[in-house]
Structure 1
Amino acid sequence: MSHAVARRVAQKESRLLLASPLVWLLLTSFSASALFIVFSLESFFARNIADLRPLFQWLPLLLIFLCSALSMSMWSDERERGTVEYLLTQPVGISRFVFGKFRACLKLLVLALLSTLPPAITLSLIAELDWGPVATAYFAALLMGSAYLCIGLFVSSCTNRAVLSFIGSTALCALLYLLGHPLLGALFDSDTAAWLQAFSTASRFESFSRGVVDLRDLYYYLCLCGIFLSLNVYVLERGRWSKARSNRHRYWRSMTSLLIVNLLLANVWLARLPELRFDLSQGQLYSLSPTTQQLLDSLDQRLLLRAYFSSQPHPQLAPLVPQLKDLLQEYAAHSKGKLQLEFIEPDKQQSLEQQAIDELGLHSASPQSYGGQQSSWMNDYFHILLSYGSEHEVLKISDLIEVRSTSSALTELQLRKPEYQLSRAIRDALYHHQLGGDLFADIDQAVELVAYLSDQAQLPPLLQNYQQAITAQLDTLVKQSEGKFSVRLVDPGADGGATAQRLQQELDIQPLVTAIGNGAELYFYLTLEDEQQVVQLPTGSFDPDEFRATLEAGLRRFANSLTRSVALALPHDHERAAQQHSATPSFHHLERSIAQDYSLRREDLSDGSVDPQADILAVIAPQQLDSRALYAIDQFLMRGGTVILATSPYSSDQSAVDLRLKTWPSGLQEWLAHHGLQISNSLVMDSQSSALPTTIIRQIGGHEFRDVELIDYPYFIDVRPPQLNPEHPITADLAEVTMAWASPIEARPTQQQELSILLQSSEESWLSNADEDIAPHLAQQRKAALDSQVKRQAEILGLALQGRFRSWFAQHPLPATGAKDSDGQAFADLAPPIEYSPQSARIILFASNDFLSDHLLNARKAATNSSHHTALELIRNSISWSLQDDSLLQIRPRAYFNRSLPAIDERAQALIEYINYGFAALYFLLLALAQWLLKRWRMRRYRRLLAL
């Protein structure tokens, strides 16, 4: 009976609301305001982002006025007409009338929210819309509107004037909204501001608008509904009481107070529980990995994350700003108050801009070219400063974004694994802080600071003063290091430019151009070097007071306890290849990539051993390895280590005018065959291939012209999922890898070994004879591709083999004793071989000598207009997995991409906007028609009943 009362009250109030012209004006005004915000106020097409975030940012404010207007007359009109006494005397609980009126208002709220759907439908038709955040935001809007309606009903029950009810409920809802506003939070300290935000309806809405359902936010809105519905019932119940006090009055007061207190305490209790969040965004963008959460939990003091974004960023950067802000806010939400997050727009305040220049060193960054275009957004602010104790690290625009080319030869920007970059930086800052103490305690090899400085007379006064100031600091450190630290000055222009050319090729160091004097090029760069790695030091604003902290941070890269060590064995004339056109590939990009996270040690295998401090051995493009080098690799594997091999019987000849192939004997063929791995003497060609920049010579009018064209090159195998194993940690987060001049692998693992295929060619690949000429002759390629006798099948290009291995030298003699090195010094005698390896031993094999070379990576950069190399990511992932340091491998990019709108001309934009307004108008016309038809049906039904 009581439930039927609530239903009948809801039906009656709904009919009264829909019969009011004021309500229809209110609904249409709400819908028109929402559409105006999306298309005009927030510049939907100029914003160029395929989401509805502008609408959802304004909804908390729009709902205040809508819900206050819908609920303002619910009880105030009853009081004004005197009908409230009739309701209070009914033999039914007053709560049924309250719930009935609430259901009526909620029905109108749903109809109002439905009227804002046309932009979402339009977006889904013209672009890629993530429906997860849309659904959760509308769900949260319904919850927030419900809370506002409950507040409005409560205020309406306290007065007999609808206008006063509207003003009172609007003021109360606006107060809850403003508690989380940055303007109010700026008046208090961070802890107080965070406490106020916990009570804000707008702050609780933010996670829903990103597609994240947090049960604490969900309960917050339900709690508001429970509190104000209880107060509404209590206020009306008091109208039944006589003036004399009774136990019933005390009972109602105590029970209402107890209910409200329990509802509030439940918020406090939920806040202490582990986070119960459900990420419904596509790719689960805002679910931080366990690695990130563990890093945030391990913080023992406040971590500052200061993000610098331009107020009006480049149009291609603008869509990335809210994505990165959302991720940073997730870090702050998971940190339990240990992370202080600040967003700064330096271009609005000169002091903040100068601070950004000083801290980020933007002035020292030379202009870069992305996508074949001069990077106009390099002057924008898109940087993050991390500060933890005395440690700090800066993530610049080149660390945070990736530039790709589209099919229309335009460039496209997307975030480059932002969670990975942020968590790696936090981890490094945390480790650096925990290391502390003596700078040289964990440094074994001597470290040299090499200062690449132009002649003193060419330097401007600022740099001269800076050099003099840091020289005194360096002299002090040299004395304290006890021989572990030294300084050397090099003038890149003193040897005719040879050193300058080497710096440009190996370290990407470009000359500075000063506006002082004649604008001549000059050098002022500082690097730390040992026998294994080179670390470039940022000079920042050339402030001597900042130099000591910068130098200490660089020296910690050479400490043994800081990172794991990777022994890297490269071809013997690798260094010479980088300085001149040599047939040997160079791998400086690979070295710099590994040195970002690991301590790099260059390994010479000719002495028959691997550095005992090395945690992993990577052998790239091995050439004619002798028995002692083979013994070093074999015994490293027998000790349970992991050997990463990039080897093939062939390599490209980069010194030739035409692209040609040459044999490349590695010396590993028999050793690999002993372990069940065979690399065939052929090359894999694939119809699923990448482009090769090729010089085309044209003869026009007796003149010769050279053009560069991108030609599909079957030797550049474009490996993508599922051929790129999506289940293995090494390859799971990679979108594609280009394997160049790769050979097929045959694997025959034993029962004690586990084989994981990492990379394969497509089913449309075939084998080619290793002809000497591999230039992209299209006619020959097409002929080979169309030859019906060519066998097509997938070929293994990369694999991981783990398990128990038996030493090659258990069945073969040891290397001869008495061997000497290049200096004529005799090698030490080799220890007896370990015959069997433990189960933890691994061989990771990639059948290509060139896919990691500088030449190929530069060619791929030219072909794709991308500065990001997935081949380097493949090796870094292999190292992390091999070292059981798979924590960062758990962090996936998870669909961080730019959801932009397609190109739409102005006439089409105007048409789309008018269509959305038209659909909203049609919606209300159909709603009014349905209401009219329903009214006519009820009238006919009543007449039939009366006729009986």
Structure 2
Amino acid sequence: MKQVFSITRKELDSYFGSPMALIFLGAFLAVTLFTFYWVDPFFARGLADVRPLFNWMPLLLIFLVAALTMRQWSEEQRSGTLEMLMTLPVKPWQLVLGKFLATMTLVALALVLTLPLAITVALLGPLDWGPVIGGYLAALLLAAAYAAIGLFVSSRTDNQIVALISTGLLGGLFYLVGTAGVTGFLGNPWTTILRALGTGSRFESIQRGVIDLRDLAYYLSIATFFLALNTLSVESKRWSHGAGTRTIRFNAQLGASLLGINLLLLNVWLYPLQGLRLDLTQQREYTLSNTTKDLLANLQEPLLIRGYISEKSHPLLNPLRPRIEDMLHEYAVAGRGRVTADVVDPTSDPELEAEANQNYNIQPVPFQVADRYQNAIVNSYFDVLVRYGDQNVVLSFRDLIEVEPLRDGTIDVRLRNLEYDLTSAIKKVVYGFQSVESVLAAIDEPVEFTLFVTPDLLPAELAEAPQTIEKVGQELAEKSNGKFTFNVVNPDDPNSGVTRQQLLEEYGLQPFFVSLFSNDTYYLHMLLKNGESAQVIYPSTDLGEGAMRTAIENGLKRSSSGFLKTVGLWTPPATPTQDMFGQMQQPISSWTSIEEHLRQEYNVRPVDLSTGQPPLDIDTLFLVMPQNLTDKERFAVDQFLMRGGSVIVAAGNYALDLDPFTQGLTTRPVENGLREMLLHYGVDVQQSMVMDEQNQPFPVPRVRDVGGFQVQEIEAINFPFFVDVRPDGMTRGEAIVAGLPAATLSFVSPVVLDPAKNEGRETAVLMTSSPNSWLRTTADIQPNFELYPERGYPVEGEMKSYSLAVVVQGSFESYFKDKPSPFVVEPDASDPEASPTPTGPQADVTALTTSPTSARLVVIGSGEFLDDLVLRLSSQIVQDRVLNNLQLAQNAVDWSVEDTDLLEIRARGTYTRLLDPLTQEQQTTWEMGNYIVALVALLLVGGLWWLFRRNEQPMKLDPPSSNLVDAPATGD
């Protein structure tokens, strides 16, 4: 290899001996910085990744590598030095490899000079270095392929301009064949073949942080083949064209052809091997999680995952098909024969299309596409079906993709979180298919169901309830094959072995009062013990056999991990209001996004609390912006918590509203909410709003005059009411905020825990604002930059960090203890003989005053952070803010129902890493700093090479030999 390195050194001396190397490096850095900060504006995107650095790399390297290689052989041929090289004791392949290494050294140096950009991103946000390493590796491999092509082209001509143009055209051809603009004209399998041949499409795969053996083999195959052709081209310079060298020429050409065929066959052979890859991402985003593998390993029935994707679809959707196919293949492999996964085109098979339309209501979606000749409408499929037993879930393209508008007016379409979408759908169908009998059959230890009842003390209306419960319990026990045991225990019986005190201490069971005006108490409690867990089942107002069976089965399902949980969701009713002109108008706030998001993983049931009855058929109660509640509704919430339930309250004290005069946005105080009840529980949602210098900007439309034309733009202004909470404001170790990169809490109130009231409970502060926060007690949210040019708002009081969300678990005391029952109508004061009148049949006699220790309470000081209007406004700045807020809500539900399996998958995502908040001055400082660092690095490279050349010692020649004599002169 000594000869190879000598050739490499010679070529590098040639590069740096002229301004060419510095011009190349300078041009590369200038174009890279321009695309990073101006074409794909880094700070405007707000994401901590280096996508702008590598987005244009496949095209950029074509021209830069072509400029480097154009003179390698063309200059040798033009100047006549090629013949001298051929006379040296160096083989042609060594010449070729030496020039190739010189080119790659210069490209690698250029890429090293861009590292300050990646370091800058890492300093400004939580950068994932996996895609960075993948991007640089992909750039080197791509440059190697282009360099081999350029060297071969340069060896075929003595004109540098011809070599430059030819290399650019050939490299551009390899890039274009895999782009959406070309593959959009064709359907499968041509689309798949062309994407496999495209250098750009292969680059995207490695750039995202996945090192696939197939991609490595592809780039190395191109480089090897063209380097072989280059060697053959150089070797042919020494051949004559006569018959004497015909055999040599034929064997060399045959060898090159066989090499090309073998490399092609190698790539064909490797193509189906999808598991030979390395996931470099920090959270292993492209590798199936253990949660998914465990779910697939426990399947009892065959699972079908089928993608209905048309070959002819929208050009932006076509590149996503290979990703879906690869992911479905991984599910099939992990399923070990229990999972059937495939991707089909319904338009090519009438039976499949009829099945999709009739059985699963999968319909084609019309997409508008445009090509060189016309605009057209294409009806295509882009859906994924997940079927297990008699349960199925269909994921449409809206469920699978994210769309991000770009500054140039185009859009970026990408898969949202494919594994999470598929695994949550699988979990939904699997848990929905399970029956009580199948769960009982799967458990190892019998489930103990015990009815604690005091029959002598039961009210008359409950006299027959024990017989009904006993009948249902005995029927379940008979069908369970010994997996379900039923017992009846009277705690007042001395021979029962159980006392009332033991029930209170071990399970938190408190007796019910016989009536409002009696001190006698009774027991009618059902306890379900599944292993080490114990769950109390309380009777509802319906004491029929069917209701009892449903209550027991629901309790059994809740105690098992094999059933889909049910979330009871309460949102403010959409009641029209009357404006100042007497016109009815709909409220500006709505809450459909959170409901749709929760439905992806849970059964979501809107709850009606107006009857005062706690909903007993749900696993957790989620209240969003509670307001205008009656005492009966508060009683229902209180009693749900007293029964050991989990309650999540997005309890903001200020709600969005329209100003009646300006029709601009304002806020109004929330009335008749849960503030007093939460304060009784030890959680104070204070009557103020947190304002934070660390905030998400607010999009404001602005009209600008451009040459007489009115152009409407969106301008982002500082808006301290949108508090931006980053990981440093989240409590580590808490599952609700685990893996959450950020969240924006809008119009949030401080949430303070009362240490005295929460003594003996487990408490935690989930989120806090930044130290540069203050409080505002007025509802006006309009900025005034004339009076307050720096922030737009006055700083009222002390600037410090405020807690914004808390979690409490333990035993709570009922808010209605020692208070009048909401079901009792107070007597008329004018009638001295009148007495309180109960208005509820049995709600009053089943009221609990203390909850078991399993009760959970999550309080977030904002309800507007889930408002559809606020989410739409946030999405105009950064789309991922919307997903983060919804993810926070879903994490809270997961924790409340103790179902955190999907938290790991949901937290994984490439596009959710946000930059730290920066002012415009700070952004300019970082940008100018990178320009200066690039210039200094360029000058440093040139200076170091100059010093190296200056200190290089000249080669010492051997002196003439002493035995040499002058030739004798010749005379006439």
TM-score after normalising by structure 1: 0.52
1:131–1:877 CA distance, 2 compared to 1 (3 A): closer
1:894 counterpart = 2:908: yes
Aligned partners of 1:717 and 1:738 also within 8 Å: yes
* TM-aligned CA distance change 1:614 to 1:767, over 3 Å: same
With over 3 angstroms needed to count, the CA separation of the structure-2 counterparts of 1:818 and 1:765, relative to structure 1, is: same
Query: What's the counterpart of residue 421 of structure 1?
Result: 421
The answer to whether the 8 A contact 1:577-1:586 is kept is no
Once the two structures are TM-superposed, the CA of residue 779 in structure 1 deviates from its matched residue by 3.8
Matches within 5 A, 1:741-820: 741-749=747-755, 750-771=758-779, 773-779=780-786, 782=789, 791-810=798-817, 812=819, 814-815=821-822, 817-818=824-825
Structure 1 392/19 Cα, relative in aligned 2: closer, same or farther at 3 Å? farther
Name the residue aligned to 2:643. Answer: 639
**In 2: Cα distance, 1:830 partner to 1:664 partner:** 28
Given candidates 847, 864, 870, the residue that maps to 1:850 is: 864
Deviation per residue, 1:102-129 (Å, 9 max, x gap): xxxxxxxxxxxxxxxx999x989xx994
Matched, 1:619 2:687: no
Q: Answer yes or no: is the 8 Å Cα contact 2:308–2:381 preserved in 1.
A: yes
Q: Quick check: 1:41 aligned with 2:171?
A: no
Cα gap change, 1:290 to 1:827, in 2 (>3 Å): same
Mapped partners of 1:164, 1:142: distance in 2: 24
Q: Can you give the 5+ residue segments of structure 2 that lack an aligned partner in the other structure?
A: 2-88, 101-140, 150-169, 183-191, 225-247, 370-374, 439-553, 828-837, 914-951, 959-972
CA distances 1:480-536 after superposition (whole Å, capped 9, x unpaired): xxxxxxxxxxxxxxxxxxxxxxxxxxxxxxxxxxxxxxxxxxxxxxxxxxxxxxxxx
Question: Following TM superposition, by how much is the alpha carbon of 1:325 offset from its aligned partner in structure 2, in angstroms?
Answer: 3.5
* Equivalent runs, 1:152-167 vs 2, <5 Å: none
Aligned 8 A contact 1:650 1:665 in 2: no
Could you say if the C-alpha distance between residues 119 and 859 of structure 1 is closer, same or farther in structure 2, counting changes exceeding 3 Å? Answer: closer
Matched residue, 2:569: 568
Map of 1:478 onto structure 2: none
Paired with 1:581 and 1:739, the residues of 2 have a C-alpha distance of 27
Mean Cα displacement is larger for which, 748-757 or 377-386? 377-386
1:207 matched to 2:275? The reply is yes
Match 2:211 to one of 127, 130, 133? 133
For residues 369-388 of structure 1, the aligned pairs below 5 Å read: 381-388=381-388
Aligned partners of 2:656 and 2:668 also within 8 Å = yes
**Aligned-residue offset at 1:716:** 2.3
Task: Tell me which amino acid in the other structure corresponds to 2:775.
Answer: L
Please show how residues 632-781 of structure 1 align to structure 2 within 5 Å: 632-654=636-658, 656=660, 657-694=663-700, 711-724=717-730, 727-749=733-755, 750-771=758-779, 773-779=780-786
C-alpha displacement of 1:27:
9.9
Distance, in Å, in 2 between the alignment partners of 1:586 and 1:690 is: 21
What letter corresponds to residue 566 of structure 1 in structure 2?
V
- What is the distance in 2 between the residues matched to 1:139 and 1:22? 21
- Give the Å deviation of 1:882: 0.8
Alignment of 1:434-513 (within 5 A): 434=434
1:412 alignment partner AA: D
Cα distance change of structure 1 residues 838 and 432 upon mapping to structure 2, 3 Å threshold: closer
| 1:215-226 aligned within 5 A | none
Q: Deviations over 1:26-63 (max 9, x none)?
A: 999996588659753243894699xxxxxxx99xx99x
Q: In structure 2, give the amino acid aligned to 1:40.
A: L
> Quick one: distance in 2 between partners of 1:21 and 1:814?
98
User: Given residue 717 of structure 1, which amino acid in structure 2 is its aligned partner?
Assistant: V
How far apart are the structure 2 equivalents of 1:27 and 1:354? Answer: 62
Name the CA shift for 1:584/1:401 in 2 (closer, same or farther; >3 Å).
closer
Which of 817, 831, 839 does residue 845 from structure 2 map onto?
831
1:689 is paired with a residue whose SS is coil
Between the aligned partners of 2:824 and 2:313, the Cα distance in structure 1 is: 66
Contact 1:313 1:381 in 2 (8 A): yes
Q: Distance in 1 between matches of 2:791 and 2:870?
A: 24
Displacement of 1:630 after TM fit?
A: 3.1
Q: Which residue pairs with 2:457 in the alignment?
A: none
Contact 2:704/2:710, CA 8 A, preserved across alignment: yes
Does the aligned pair in 1 maintain the 2:365–2:380 contact within 8 Å? Answer: no
Deviation at 1:871, TM superposition (A): 3.1
Shift of 1:885: 1.7
**1:319·1:898 contact (CA, 8 Å) conserved in 2?**
no
Which of 14, 18, 21 lines up with 2:92 in the alignment? 21
The one-letter amino acid paired with 1:43 is L
User: Which has the larger displacement, 784-793 or 162-171?
Assistant: 162-171
Q: C-alpha offsets along residues 383-408 of structure 1, whole Å, 9 cap, x if unaligned?
A: 32334455543221101111234566
Instruction: Measure, in 2, the Cα distance between the counterparts of 1:819 and 1:574.
Output: 31
Runs of at least 5 residues in structure 1 that lack an aligned partner in the other structure: 1-6, 8-17, 50-56, 63-117, 147-160, 182-199, 212-278, 370-374, 439-555, 900-932, 941-948
Q: Distance in 2 between matches of 1:343 and 1:856?
A: 38
Larger mean CA deviation between 588-597 and 428-437 belongs to 428-437
**Distance (Å, rounded) in 2 between the aligned partners of 1:335 and 1:682:** 53
CA distance in 2, matches of 1:341, 1:396: 17
Q: Matched residues in 2 for 1:48 and 1:732: separation?
A: 40
Report if the CA contact (8 A) 2:325-2:342 is conserved: no
> Quick check: 1:177–1:202 contact (8 Å CA) kept in 2?
no
* Offset of residue 610 of structure 1: 0.7
The Cα of 1:421 is off from its aligned counterpart by 0.8
| In structure 1, C-alpha distance between the alignment counterparts of 2:657 and 2:741, rounded to whole Å | 29
Contact 2:774 2:798 in 1 (8 A): yes
Structure 1 pair 28–390 and aligned structure 2 pair: CA distance change class (3 A): farther
Q: Distance between the aligned counterparts of 1:131 and 1:707, measured in 2?
A: 35
The DSSP-based 3-state class of the residue aligned with 1:891 is helix
**RMSD over aligned Cα atoms:** 5.9
Q: Is the 8 A contact 2:762 2:808 kept in 1?
A: yes
Letter of the 1:565 partner, please give it.
T
Q: Is the 8 A contact 1:306 1:384 kept in 2?
A: yes
Alpha carbons 1:757, 1:798 under 8 Å: kept: yes
Percent identity of equivalent pairs: 29
Distance 2:889 2:681 in 1: 22
Partner of 1:401: 401
Report the TM-score, using the length of structure 2 for normalisation. Answer: 0.50
Q: Which moved more, 1:428-437 or 1:710-719?
A: 428-437
Shift of 1:747: 1.8
Counterpart position of 2:452: none
Give the distance between the partners of 1:607 and 1:584, measured in 2 at CA: 27
State the Cα distance separating 1:640 from its structure 2 match.
1.8
In 2: Cα distance, 1:587 partner to 1:668 partner: 19
Could you say which residue in structure 1 is the equivalent of 2:9? none
Q: Please list, as runs of the form range in 1=range in 2, the aligned pairs for 1:309-388 lying within 5 A after superposition.
A: 309=309, 311=311, 314=314, 316-317=316-317, 320-344=320-344, 363=363, 365=365, 381-388=381-388
The answer to whether the Cα contact below 8 Å between 2:206 and 2:212 also exists between their aligned partners in 1 is no
When residues 727 and 173 of structure 1 are mapped into structure 2, their CA distance, relative to the original with a 3 A threshold, is farther
- Tell me the equivalent position of 1:630: 634
Give 1:797's aligned amino acid: L
CA contact (8 A) 2:595 2:604 kept: yes
Work out whether residues 583 and 655 of structure 1, in 8 Å CA contact, stay in contact via their aligned partners in 2: no
Give the aligned residue type for 2:891.
Answer: N
Instruction: Give secondary structure in 2 for the equivalent of 1:672.
Output: helix
- Describe the SS at the equivalent of 1:291: helix
Q: Distance in 1 between matches of 2:352 and 2:263?
A: 32
Task: Name the CA shift for 1:761/1:141 in 2 (closer, same or farther; >3 Å).
Answer: same
